Amino acid sequence: MALSDLLYPDNPKRRQELIHLHQELLNCMSITFRATNELAGVLNAHLGCTITHIQMRESSTVKENCDIIIQAMSEIQHQVQKIDSDMKEKLEPVLYQKLYDIKEPELEKIAIAHKVFSIVLGEATSTAGMVAIKLLGSNLITLTVSKLISLLAQIGVSVLGGISITILGLGIEMILHAILGAVERNQLLAAVRSYEKHLAEFKAASEKYQHAIHEVTSLVRQQVQ
């Protein structure tokens, strides 16, 4: 038995907690990669965007994968801001204000947005206006994505950031060695608490993100049918 285990008898339990939390974190990241690609696909197909799909890199660290997601989300933010700018430029001020007026019927907003995209793209899909209004009128971009970007940045600079993605396929001792790194064995509790905090916040924000994207993609599928 290691000396640290004699001094800190809860360490074996904390090691297991650490491994479980790391696996949960990577699962959340994997789901966020897929959701981001789904949203990018909708923007590319219906709003004339060219957002590159992303892929989790198993040979890279948690931070490097966080940076990949952040870059994709930042590009999505940029594209939605560009859509808003196009609306503002092409529409009369009164019509532009209607897009953000909660009292205006959604069908009218969609019709206005569709006309703009028909001008900007030359030919717009039947769902272009609906997708644009859903993105501009919801808090998906302004709040949900911004929150996730902030959390991913925090995870990247935390003790978790330098951990490799590939450790999931390794044995327990290798996983522990990778996770702990320079962290002393008697700091296991601090490492567990750090994981718990970041994971809880990330899971909550990721679930909101996935739900918001599901709303958009569900509407698109209904429209296509």
Per-residue confidence band for 12, with pLDDT thresholds at 50, 70 and 90: low
* Cβ pair 178, 159 in contact under 8 A: no
User: What does the buried/exposed string (b/e) look like for 94-111 if buried means 16 or more CB atoms within 10 Å of the residue's CB?
Assistant: ebbebbeeeeeeeeebbe
pLDDT at 5: 43
Per-residue confidence band for 188, with pLDDT thresholds at 50, 70 and 90: low
pLDDT at 41: 92
Q: State mean pLDDT over 86-110.
A: 87
pLDDT at 33: 94
pLDDT tens per residue across span 17-53: 777 777 888 889 999 999 999 999 999 988 889 999 9
DSSP class per residue in 163-181 = SBGGGGGS-HHHHHHHHHT
